[in-house]
Chain A
Amino acid sequence: MSGSSILRRLDWLTVFLFALLVFFGWINIYSTTLTENANSIFDFSTLYGKQLFFIGLSMASIVIIMALENSFFERFSSLFYIISLMLLAGLFVFGKTIAGATSWYDFGFFNFQPSELGKLTAALALAKYLSDIQTDLRKIKHQWYAVLILVVPIILILPQPDPGSALVYFSLFFVLFREGLPLQYLGFAILLILLFVSTLMFGVIWVGIGLGIITSLFFLFKKPTFKVPTLPLVLFLICCMGVSLSVNFVYNNVFEQRHRDRFSLWLGLEKDPIRLEQIKKTIGYNTYQAEKAIESGGFIGKGFLEGTRTKGDFVPEQHTDYIFSSVGEEWGFMGTTFIVLLFSLFFLRLIHLAERQKRSFNRMYGYGVISILLIHYFVNIGMVIGLLPTIGIPLPFFSYGGSGLIFFTAMLFIFLKFDAARLSEI
Chain B
Amino acid sequence: MRKVLLSSFIIVIGFTFIGRLSYLQLFSFSPDQILEDPAIKTVYDYPERGYIYDRNGALMVGNQPAYDVMVIPRETKTLDTLEFCALLSISKEDFVKSMKKARRYSPRLPSVLVPQLSKEDYASLQEKMRKYRGFYIQKRSLRDYKTNSAANVLGYISEVNETDLRTNPYYRAGELKGRTGIEKQYEEILRGQKGVKYIQKDRFNRDIGPYKEGKLDTLSQLGKEVHVTIDKVLQEYGERLMVGKRGGIVAIEPSTGEILAMISGPTYDPALLVGRDRSRNYSKLHYDSIAQPTWDRSILAEPSPGSPFKTLNALVALEEGVISPDTKFTCYNGFYVGKQKKGCHCGGGVRDLNSGIFRSCNAYFAGTFRKIYGKFNTTDEGMDVWEKHMKSFGLGGYLGVDFPTGRPGRIPGKEFYDKWYGDNAWASSTIISNSIGQGEVNVTPIQLANMTAAIANRGYFYTPHLIKQIGSTRNIDPRYTERKYTTISPQHFGPVIQAMTNVYEYGTAKWIRIPDIKIAGKTGTVENFTKIDGEKVQLTDHSIFTAFAPVDKPRIAIAVYIEHGYYGARYAGHIASLMIEKYIKGEITRKDLEKKMLEKTLEHEYAKPFSGEPFKINEYVW
Contacts and interface: CB of A to CB of B under 8 A. Distances in A.
A378 B3 CA distance: 20
Given A295-B29, A308-B37, A312-B205, A385 B20 contact: yes
A333 B17 contact: no
A309 B21 contact: no
B200 interface: yes
B138 interface: no
Contacts of A311: 39, 200-203
Given A36-B202, A333-B26, A351-B6, A296 B20 contact: no
Contacts of B10: 344, 347-348, 351, 374
B405 to A, nearest CB: 36
Contact of A296 (B17, B29, B205): B29
A382 B16 CA distance: 9
A387 B21 contact: no
B515 interface: no
A339 B284 CA distance: 66
Given A295-B29, A312-B39, A314-B38, A333 B6 contact: no
B7 interface: yes
B573 to A, nearest CB: 62
A332 interface: yes
B216 to A, nearest CB: 14
Contact of B14 (A296, A299, A344): A344
B25 A295 contact: yes
Contact of B200 (A308, A344, A371, A387): A308
Nearest to B200: A308
B33 A296 contact: yes
B607 interface: no
Where chain A touches its partner, the secondary structure class is helix
B14 A341 contact: yes
A426 to B, nearest CB: 23
B202 A337 contact: no
Given A299-B29, A348-B10, A387 B24 contact: no
B205 A298 contact: no
Interface in A361-378: 367, 370-371, 374, 377-378
Given A336-B25, A385-B24, A309 B18 contact: no
A275 B24 CA distance: 24
Nearest to B25: A333
Of the listed residues A309, A311, A312, A382, the one surrounded by the most CB atoms of chain B closer than 10 A to its CB is A312
A328 B17 contact: no
A299 B200 CA distance: 21
A355 to B, nearest CB: 6
A227 B16 CA distance: 38
Nearest to A332: B25
A355 B31 CA distance: 47
Contact of A328 (B3, B21, B36, B202): B21
B203 A381 contact: no
Contacts of A132: none
Of the listed residues B2, B17, B20, the one surrounded by the most CB atoms of chain A closer than 10 A to its CB is B17
A313 B206 CA distance: 12
A189 to B, nearest CB: 13
A290 to B, nearest CB: 10
Nearest to A377: B13
Where chain B touches its partner, the secondary structure class is helix
B9 interface: yes
A284 interface: no
A367 B3 CA distance: 10
Contact of B201 (A312, A344, A381): A312
B169 to A, nearest CB: 21
B7 A298 contact: no
Contacts of B22: 333
Contacts of A355: 3
A263 interface: no
B7 A351 contact: yes
A183 interface: yes
B11 interface: yes
A312 B20 contact: no
A299 B26 contact: yes
Contacts of B37: 296, 308-309
A136 interface: no
A281 B33 CA distance: 20
A374 B39 contact: no
Contacts of A367: 6
B1 interface: yes
A348 B7 contact: yes
A291 interface: yes
Contacts of A174: 5-6
A294 interface: yes
B6 A378 contact: no
Contacts of B5: 174, 177-178, 183
B28 interface: yes
B25 A340 contact: no
B40 interface: yes
B38 A309 contact: yes
A193 to B, nearest CB: 14
B25 A314 contact: no
Contacts of B40: 308
B213 to A, nearest CB: 13
Interface in A148-193: 174, 177-178, 180, 183
B3 A295 contact: no
B202 A386 contact: no
B10 to A, nearest CB: 5
Contact of B17 (A34, A292, A309, A382): A382
A73 to B, nearest CB: 22
A295 B17 contact: no
Contacts of A351: 6-7, 10
A343 B16 CA distance: 14
A340 B7 contact: no
A178 B25 contact: no
Contacts of A297: 25, 29
B39 A314 contact: yes
Nearest to A371: B6
B11 to A, nearest CB: 7
Interface string B185-203: 0000000000000001111
B205 to A, nearest CB: 7
Contacts of A294: 21, 24-25
Contacts of A336: 17, 21, 25
B619 to A, nearest CB: 62
Nearest to B7: A351
Given A295-B24, A312-B39, A344-B11, A370 B6 contact: yes
A333 B38 contact: no
A387 B16 contact: yes
A12 to B, nearest CB: 21
B314 to A, nearest CB: 65
Of the listed residues B5, B20, B21, B38, the one surrounded by the most CB atoms of chain A closer than 10 A to its CB is B21
Contacts of B20: 385-387
A382 to B, nearest CB: 7
Of the listed residues A297, A314, A385, the one surrounded by the most CB atoms of chain B closer than 10 A to its CB is A385
Contacts of A312: 38-39, 201-203, 205
B39 A385 contact: no
Nearest to A307: B39
Given A297-B29, A344-B11, 6 more contacts: A296-B29, A311-B39, A312-B205, A374-B9, A374-B10, A387-B17
14 contacts: A183-B2, A295-B28, A298-B25, A308-B40, A311-B39, A311-B200, A312-B38, A312-B205, A336-B25, A343-B14, A344-B14, A371-B6, A374-B6, A387-B20
Q: Which 6 A-B pairs have the closest CB atoms?
A: A308-B39, A312-B39, A333-B25, A344-B14, A298-B29, A313-B203
Interface of A: 34-36, 174, 177-178, 180, 183, 291-292, 294-299, 308-309, 311-314, 328, 332-333, 336-337, 340-341, 343-344, 347-348, 351, 355, 367, 370-371, 374, 377-378, 381-382, 385-387
